[in-house]
Amino acid sequence: EWLESATDADELHFFAENWHWDGGGGAPLLPLVENPHCDAGTMLMLFWHGGGEDSYFQYNEVEDIDREFDREVHHLLRRIEKKLVSKDYATADIRFDPGSFISMRDRRDEFARQIPEFLYQPIGRKPNE
């Protein structure tokens, strides 16, 4: 319930940053992503912390996935992709650079689903800006 009603983007980011992926999966984070106060930097961080590259390498559609846990995560990643690509967020102030999470960019032609170029780019203000 808190994820739906929270209005502080920094608090939402802190929650997302400390999310335990192995124990929680993706479904519990959907209310955070749908929260109108969720910053684009938080969504981009969730995409990469959620294994966006691995998931998109293996799967295109949620229906392609056998395990419920993996389906939930892929659904979350697809929702984040849609919101970021359509600029469906109020702010993009929180800095996140996915550079250290990118490991298969040179194999993009092998991906089951392509990651939009925008999701490879840093987002948010640099410190001291």
33-79 tens-digit pLDDT: 999 999 999 999 999 999 999 999 999 999 999 999 999 999 999 99
Pairwise CA distance, residues 49 & 44, whole Å = 9
Query: Whole domain around residue 77: which residue ranges?
Result: 2-120
In a domain, 125, yes or no: no
In a domain, 129, yes or no: no
In a domain, 50, yes or no: yes
In a domain, 127, yes or no: no
pLDDT at 129: 59
In a domain, 71, yes or no: yes
Number of domains in the chain: 1
In a domain, 126, yes or no: no
In a domain, 128, yes or no: no
As a whole-number percent, the residues of the chain with pLDDT over 90 amount to 88
pLDDT at 128: 63
- What digits encode the pLDDT tens for the residues 72-103? 999 999 999 999 999 999 999 999 999 999 99
CB pairs under 8 A, 24+ apart, for 83-89? 83/33, 83/43, 84/40, 84/43, 84/44, 84/47, 84/116, 84/118, 84/119, 85/116, 85/118, 89/38, 89/39, 89/40, 89/43
